[in-house]
Structure 1
Amino acid sequence: MVDCVVKNWQGEEVGQTTLELKVAKEKTASHVVHRALIRQLANARQGNACTKTRAEVRGGGRKPWRQKGTGRARAGSIRSPLWRGGGVIFGPKPRDFETKLNRKERRLALRTAFFSRTNDMVVVEEFGDQFSKPKTKELLSAIARWGVDSSAKILLIVTEPNQNIYLSARNVAGLKMYPAHQLNIYDVLNADKIITTAAALAKIQEVYSDSV
């Protein structure tokens, strides 16, 4: 269990909340997180790279020159892999990179990864009502008041999607926003700083708890 300071819209400390998640044992934690990360990156691959073999390249049906008497090396087709414009030997073909990982292990990896980032986490009060309309400048000012460099890679976690916050945040390079129930391990580990609302933190503990 970790105690987290909660800040308000002005950046002042107004209370505390706790983060309690069941994580992997220290001896196996890095292995579990690594497996989940590799799975996400592999499943994101399109796997549509494709090259043609000599059987698929157009042309080359006629023997370029006779077998003997020319002084040149033997050649049976201008589409040989040795020739420019020929087929490709052992080139890539469309394939599925999907890797399976059971749900319990995925959740354990995400909890472990998220819990490991507590030192880089800033917990704030709900601030959706601060935006009557989208305003990137106001969001950047708030991030600075919370003690986070806006040029860093930031993961912003909210309870539910908010259109005004989303429109204010989408123009900030390096800032990604997710609802609490849609986290992924890559963005949790890749962010330099994580900003989460206290309500989102409670929802994370509810959604990703070991009992679910």
Structure 2
Amino acid sequence: MELAVLNKEGKETGRKVTLSTELYAVEPNHHAIYLDVKQYLANQRQGTHKSKERGEISRTTKKFFRQKGTGNARVGSLRSPLQRGGGTAFGPRPRNYGFKLNKKVKAVARKSALTLKASDKKIQVIENLEMAAPKTKDFINIITALGLDAKKSIIVLGDSNKNVYLSSRNFKGSDVVIASELNTYSIMNAQNVVLTEDSLGKLENLLSK
């Protein structure tokens, strides 16, 4: 698949790039995408939820009422889950929701996600982004020129660029990541994927291993 390289004004530069068939034209593995997205979302969970059990409740140990003669059932402790203000039975405990996923499965998931975007013509290639200073207005102008101002998009850079990142931070409609940090969730969550020229080679090196 050949794509025209666009400049920051959204116009064609006259150059074209050929997307690798190993990354953008594979047989999509939907189950691998599901597993990778599931692991990403699981890792976002803090897992700090906690409720007090009967052994952690601070209440008097005095017997509630006498054992016999009242007609009521025997009450052993006010900390019991049956009592108002007592502990919680089988309540949540802190835990780690993360799980292991093989590197090859994650690579297949990212290739599948990129293939789906390419087949839907939702991938654009632009020349390398350079910004003299962090300025959100300039970043929004680039997004608008690419026709993505009303769409959720992700821009993939080859290397870290502080000015581009800071310029995009206040614009909620688009995310900026470097090629080594691109994940399946980000690809699938975005309506359009914008790749810089230098990110193409980085992605090929990362995903073709």
1:208 paired to 2:174: no
Q: Which residue of 2 aligns with 1:184?
A: 183
- 1:78 is matched with 78
Letter in structure 2 aligned against 1:93 = R
Partners of 1:73 and 1:177 in 2: CA distance: 64
Aligned equivalents of 1:179 and 1:21: distance in 2? 21
> Residues 47-66 of structure 1: matches in 2 within 5 Å?
47-66=47-66
For 1:123, the aligned partner's letter is V
Deviation at 1:92, TM superposition (A): 1.0
* Residue identity opposite 1:103 in structure 2: K
Q: Secondary structure at the match of 1:5?
A: strand
Aligned partner of 1:165 in structure 2 is 164
Q: Does 1:108 align with 2:103?
A: no
Q: Which amino acid aligns with 1:190?
A: N
Any residues of structure 2 matched to 1:17-32 within 5 Å, and which? 17-22=17-22, 25-26=27-28, 29-32=29-32
Shift of 1:176: 1.4
Report if aligned partners of 1:54, 1:86 keep a CA contact under 8 Å in 2.
yes
2:44 maps to: 44
Kindly provide the CA deviation profile for residues 103-135 of structure 1, in whole angstroms up to 9, marking residues without a partner as x: 11111111111221122222111121xx22111
Do the aligned residues in 2 keep the contact of 1:157 with 1:179 (CA within 8 Å)?
yes
Matches within 5 A, 1:105-144: 105-118=105-118, 119-128=121-130, 131-144=131-144
* Structure 2: 5+ residue stretches without partners: none
Q: Which one-letter code corresponds to 1:11 in the other structure?
A: G
In the alignment, the residues of structure 2 paired with residue 10 and residue 25 of structure 1 have an alpha-carbon distance, to the nearest angstrom, of 34
For residue 177 of structure 2, give the secondary structure of its aligned residue in structure 1: strand
Aligned-partner residue type, residue 6 of structure 2? K
Residue 60 of structure 1 and its aligned partner are, at CA, apart by 4.1
Q: Equivalent residues in 2 for 1:145-156 (5 A)?
A: 145-149=145-149, 151-156=150-155
Q: 1:55 to 1:21 in 2, by over 3 A?
A: farther
Contact in 2 for aligned 1:21/1:205 (Cα 8 Å): no
**TM-score, normalised relative to structure 1:** 0.88
Residue 84 of structure 1, CA deviation: 2.4
1:159 touches 1:203 (CA, 8 Å); kept in 2?
A: yes
What number of residue pairs does the alignment pair up?
Answer: 204
3-state DSSP of counterpart to 1:6: strand
- The percentage of counterpart residues that share the same residue type is 36
Output the CA distance in 2 between the equivalents of 1:108 and 1:172.
30
Amino acid at match of 2:129: F
Mapped partners of 1:132, 1:44: distance in 2: 34
**Secondary structure of 1:55 counterpart:** helix
CA distance in 1, matches of 2:183, 2:7: 26
Deviation at 1:87, TM superposition (A): 0.7
Structure 1 letter corresponding to 2:167? S
User: Considering only aligned residues, what root-mean-square deviation do their CA atoms show, in Å?
Assistant: 1.8
Q: Is the 8 A contact 2:27 2:112 kept in 1?
A: no
